[in-house]
Amino acid sequence: MADYRYERLTALDNSFLVFESANTPMHVASTAIFEAGPLRTAAGGVDIERITAHIAACLHRIPRYRERLAYIPIEAHPVWIDDERFNLNYHIRHTSLPKPGDERRLKRLAARVMSQQLDRGKPLWETWIVEGFDGDRMAMISKTHHCMIDGISGVDLLTVLLSPTPDATPRDPVRWVPRPAPSPLALLRAEVVQRVGAPLGVAARLLRDPANLVADVRDGLAAVAETLGAGMGLASATPFNQPIGPHRRFDWIGMELAALREVRERLGGTLNDVVLATVAGAVRRFLERRAVPLRDLAFRVFVPVSVRGASERNTLGNRVAGWLVDLPIAEHRAAARLAKVAATTARLKASRQTRGTEILTGLTEWTGSTLLGLAGRLATQATPFNMVVTNVPGPPPPLYLLGARMLEAYPMVPLFVNQGLGIALFSNAGKIFWGFNADWDVVPDLHDFVSDIESAFAELRLAEPEPEAKSGRRSARRRGNGTDADREPRAQSSEHRRVSTDSD
């Protein structure tokens, strides 16, 4: 038995390393705002030593946070190994806002932190504790490389560090001893064994269960064909889709979840449909202000879809596929926009695009980083989608850090090549928080887009249902299918093995 330990990154996890560049750092992040009072020292500052000790006591539950990258010789595929020089104080940063310590200064700091790449020679995460924020508040800016987590594993990570009650018992750190890393020769030998063994496993299944294997292959090919067909048409170039630089702007807003539910109940669709219709209305307003003709514009967003099973909760890594959703930005009626979005997502749920995306991702396990790099270069020559919109439900109850309640939490999705704006949402304790990550130069008027989001949602709140939507909901109620249970977001979110977006 080998006396070393390592874990190979999946092709999907590796893709976020391959696509990273100086202008496209591939980490996900969040800015959470807390009450400061329970964490203050006698001198009035935030007790960074207490916070550091708390994180140290949690690390045994998130071992990836003490692992760094190594690479298989020749193929150069990355693996995780224990960082024998791990230093928690490097990863936890402590800073303070200059006076007057308002939201504008916190947003600027968050954007600057998010613009900086993580050091690949160390575990790929940082946590910044920020004091000096007005209103007796403090902030925690967290960033973790996307090769380590997706949206739902990020939520799982949050629940490790935070507690649903203010009186959680402090824990002592668990003693940690780094496990031996394999030699380059051992890594290469294990890779050869894996590549030889995989076809043998397929051959064994063919002999054992040929009918089901053939059916799976046939279904998989059909799903791949459907997925490739859906992605053949490119999105239109827009002011959002320009070469991006290394600097970021970050902005946010919060909304009451009850307001989104009211729109959903009155106009139809799911909560995520309401989100996408709101984005469609905001994009329409934004592009009209920039005098962009909308009639023939194909505006497409990438919506992550989870394939994470219930047994995969509380594990890191990425278990997502995605939908390409065309937004009806030329539609001037808010209710009609929502109806069209709902029709599109219903069709996508009934399609096999999620399965096809999974298969295509799996194929890259055999092609390695070369094909991923080629895909990244091709993306610079085309516009497969205009924007990423990801919506991840968090735990319903309030969360606490050592007794300090989390008041707000604004997520950040990374920007890809020629993607000047990305939108991420996170819900908790009856609110939904929108985080807007934008290139500094491509979207200098980000604050105007955020205002457009608020205006577009206000339109939906005032809109009357479309006639066909009214009759459709009456029919659903007569059939007994229009209940809250059908559409309410699950507490543990949508990233399990049903076809769904990050939030229903």
3-state secondary structure of 302: strand
Q: How much is the CA Rg of the chain, to the nearest whole Å?
A: 23
What is the pLDDT, as a whole number, of residue 472?
52
Alpha helices in 116-247 (DSSP H): 151-161, 184-208, 210-230
pLDDT tens digits for range 326-336: 999 999 999 99
3-state secondary structure of 382: coil
CA atoms within 13 A on the CB side of 105: 15
pTM of the predicted model as reported, rounded to 2 decimal places: 0.84
Residues 77 and 14: their CA atoms lie apart, in Å, by 8
Kindly state the helix (H) or strand (E) to which residue 365 belongs, with its residue range.
helix 353-379
Decide which of 85 and 478 is more confident: 85
pLDDT of 144 > 80? The answer is yes
pLDDT band of residue 467 (cuts 50, 70, 90) is confident
What is the pLDDT, as a whole number, of residue 438?
98
Residues 94 and 432: their CA atoms lie apart, in Å, by 27
Decide which of 273 and 473 is more confident: 273
Q: Residue 161, Cα to own-chain centre: how many angstroms?
A: 18
Nearest CA among 455, 377, 449, 456 for reference residue 417: 377
Tell me if the bond preceding 178 is cis, omega within 30° of 0.
Answer: no
pLDDT tens digits for range 399-426: 999 999 999 999 999 999 999 999 999 9
Residues 435 and 267: their CA atoms lie apart, in Å, by 25
pLDDT tens digits for range 12-24: 899 899 999 999 9
pLDDT tens digits for range 16-65: 999 999 999 999 999 999 999 999 999 999 999 999 999 999 999 999 99
Tell me if the bond preceding 100 is cis, omega within 30° of 0.
Answer: yes
Residue by residue, DSSP assigns 46-67 as B-HHHHHHHHHHHGGG-GGGGE
Block residue for tokens 């959703």: 325
On whether the CB atoms of residues 318 and 305 are closer than 8 A, the answer is no
- Work out the mean pLDDT of the chain and round it to a whole number: 83
- Beta strand 421-428 with 387-393: parallel, antiparallel or unpaired? parallel
**Beta partners for residue 129, in sequence order:** 94, 140
Joined tokens for residue 300 = 């497409």
What is the pLDDT, as a whole number, of residue 268?
96
Average pLDDT on 450-469 reads 92
Joined tokens for residue 365 = 């396990």
pLDDT band of residue 155 (cuts 50, 70, 90) is confident
Average pLDDT on 128-155 reads 89
Q: Which of 212-216, 318-322, 390-394 has the lowest mean pLDDT?
A: 212-216
Alpha helices in 231-294 (DSSP H): 257-267, 271-289
Who's near 494: CB < 8 A, 6+ residues apart?
306, 393, 500, 501, 502, 503, 504
Q: Residue 135, Cα to own-chain centre: how many angstroms?
A: 29
Kindly state the helix (H) or strand (E) to which residue 410 belongs, with its residue range.
strand 404-412
What single-letter amino acid sits at 261?
R
Residues 242 and 250: their CA atoms lie apart, in Å, by 18
Who's near 292: CB < 8 A, 6+ residues apart?
238, 239
**Beta partners for residue 324, in sequence order:** 302
Joined tokens for residue 82 = 């224990």
Joined tokens for residue 45 = 């500052």
Average pLDDT on 73-78 reads 87
What single-letter amino acid sits at 29?
A
On whether the CB atoms of residues 171 and 57 are closer than 8 A, the answer is yes
CA atoms within 13 A on the CB side of 280: 32
Joined tokens for residue 329 = 């930005």
**How many Cβ atoms from other residues are within 10 Å of residue 50's Cβ?**
12
**How many Cβ atoms from other residues are within 10 Å of residue 70's Cβ?**
15
**Beta partners for residue 7, in sequence order:** 80
